[in-house]
Amino acid sequence: QQQVKQSPQSLIVQKGGISIINCAYENTAFDYFPWYQQFPGKGPALLIAIRPDVSEKKEGRFTISFNKSAKQFSLHIMDSQPGDSATYFCAASMIPGNQFYFGTGTSLTVIP
Protein backbone atom coordinates (compact mmCIF):
# COMPACT_ATOMS: atom_id res chain seq x y z
CA GLN A 1 0.00 0.00 0.00
CA GLN A 2 1.38 3.37 -1.04
CA GLN A 3 1.90 5.35 2.16
CA VAL A 4 2.37 8.63 0.29
CA LYS A 5 0.34 9.47 -2.80
CA GLN A 6 1.75 12.00 -5.25
CA SER A 7 0.21 13.85 -8.17
CA PRO A 8 0.45 14.68 -10.98
CA GLN A 9 2.66 12.03 -12.57
CA SER A 10 3.94 14.57 -15.07
CA LEU A 11 3.76 18.32 -15.41
CA ILE A 12 4.64 20.75 -18.19
CA VAL A 13 5.01 24.42 -17.28
CA GLN A 14 6.08 27.48 -19.23
CA LYS A 15 9.20 29.30 -18.11
CA GLY A 16 8.27 31.82 -15.45
CA GLY A 17 5.16 29.91 -14.41
CA ILE A 18 4.32 28.22 -11.13
CA SER A 19 4.77 24.46 -10.77
CA ILE A 20 2.62 22.76 -8.13
CA ILE A 21 3.02 19.15 -7.00
CA ASN A 22 0.74 17.61 -4.41
CA CYS A 23 1.14 14.79 -1.91
CA ALA A 24 -1.15 13.13 0.60
CA TYR A 25 -0.45 10.74 3.44
CA GLU A 26 -2.45 8.64 5.87
CA ASN A 27 -0.14 7.87 8.77
CA THR A 28 -0.53 10.61 11.40
CA ALA A 29 2.70 9.45 13.02
CA PHE A 30 4.67 11.00 10.16
CA ASP A 31 6.37 14.18 11.31
CA TYR A 32 8.99 15.01 8.71
CA PHE A 33 8.15 15.78 5.08
CA PRO A 34 11.02 16.33 2.64
CA TRP A 35 11.01 16.92 -1.09
CA TYR A 36 13.75 15.46 -3.25
CA GLN A 37 14.84 16.52 -6.74
CA GLN A 38 16.33 13.98 -9.12
CA PHE A 39 18.07 14.61 -12.43
CA PRO A 40 18.56 11.78 -14.95
CA GLY A 41 21.39 9.48 -13.95
CA LYS A 42 21.72 11.02 -10.51
CA GLY A 43 20.44 10.12 -7.08
CA PRO A 44 17.72 12.20 -5.44
CA ALA A 45 18.92 15.33 -3.65
CA LEU A 46 17.18 16.95 -0.71
CA LEU A 47 15.48 20.14 -1.86
CA ILE A 48 13.44 21.37 1.09
CA ALA A 49 11.72 19.82 4.11
CA ILE A 50 9.06 20.72 6.66
CA ARG A 51 7.93 19.58 10.10
CA PRO A 52 4.18 19.64 10.90
CA ASP A 53 4.45 22.43 13.43
CA VAL A 54 4.50 25.00 10.61
CA SER A 55 2.14 25.46 7.66
CA GLU A 56 4.62 26.84 5.18
CA LYS A 57 8.34 26.91 4.53
CA LYS A 58 10.04 28.90 1.82
CA GLU A 59 13.55 28.62 0.45
CA GLY A 60 14.21 30.83 -2.53
CA ARG A 61 11.78 29.91 -5.30
CA PHE A 62 10.68 26.71 -3.53
CA THR A 63 7.83 26.65 -1.00
CA ILE A 64 6.25 23.76 0.90
CA SER A 65 2.66 24.24 2.01
CA PHE A 66 1.49 21.86 4.71
CA ASN A 67 -2.08 21.11 5.79
CA LYS A 68 -2.00 18.89 8.85
CA SER A 69 -5.76 18.45 9.16
CA ALA A 70 -6.08 17.36 5.53
CA LYS A 71 -2.87 15.31 5.68
CA GLN A 72 -1.64 16.97 2.54
CA PHE A 73 1.44 18.90 1.53
CA SER A 74 2.56 20.46 -1.68
CA LEU A 75 5.62 21.89 -3.40
CA HIS A 76 5.35 25.18 -5.23
CA ILE A 77 8.12 26.26 -7.59
CA MET A 78 7.79 29.94 -8.40
CA ASP A 79 9.23 31.46 -11.59
CA SER A 80 9.96 27.97 -12.94
CA GLN A 81 13.11 27.68 -15.04
CA PRO A 82 14.23 25.11 -17.63
CA GLY A 83 16.93 24.04 -15.16
CA ASP A 84 14.16 22.95 -12.78
CA SER A 85 13.21 20.19 -15.23
CA ALA A 86 13.66 17.04 -13.16
CA THR A 87 11.71 14.41 -11.26
CA TYR A 88 10.43 15.48 -7.87
CA PHE A 89 9.62 13.09 -5.05
CA CYS A 90 7.77 13.86 -1.87
CA ALA A 91 8.44 11.71 1.16
CA ALA A 92 7.37 11.26 4.73
CA SER A 93 8.94 9.73 7.77
CA MET A 94 8.83 9.49 11.50
CA ILE A 95 11.52 11.12 13.58
CA PRO A 96 13.31 9.08 14.71
CA GLY A 97 12.80 6.41 12.13
CA ASN A 98 14.58 4.09 9.81
CA GLN A 99 13.14 4.85 6.42
CA PHE A 100 11.42 7.37 4.24
CA TYR A 101 8.16 6.58 2.46
CA PHE A 102 8.34 8.09 -0.99
CA GLY A 103 5.69 9.19 -3.45
CA THR A 104 5.86 7.84 -7.01
CA GLY A 105 7.43 11.00 -8.40
CA THR A 106 6.47 13.86 -10.72
CA SER A 107 8.34 14.50 -13.93
CA LEU A 108 8.50 18.27 -14.40
CA THR A 109 9.33 19.82 -17.75
CA VAL A 110 9.75 23.58 -17.95
CA ILE A 111 9.44 24.86 -21.51
CA PRO A 112 11.63 27.86 -22.45
Report the interface residues with another protein, using CB under 8 A.
2, 4, 6, 32, 34, 36, 41-46, 49, 89, 91, 93-105
Give, as one character, the DSSP assignment of residue 1: -
C-alpha of 55 from chain center: 14
Minimum CB distance to another protein, residue 6 (Å) = 7
> In the complex with another protein, which residue's Cβ is closer, 20 or 48?
48
> In the complex with another protein, which residue's Cβ is closer, 2 or 55?
2
Cα–Cα distance for residue pair 66/24, rounded to 1 Å: 10
> CB of 35 within 8 A of CB of 48?
yes
Minimum CB distance to another protein, residue 27 (Å) = 14
Minimum CB distance to another protein, residue 17 (Å) = 25
C-alpha of 77 from chain center: 10
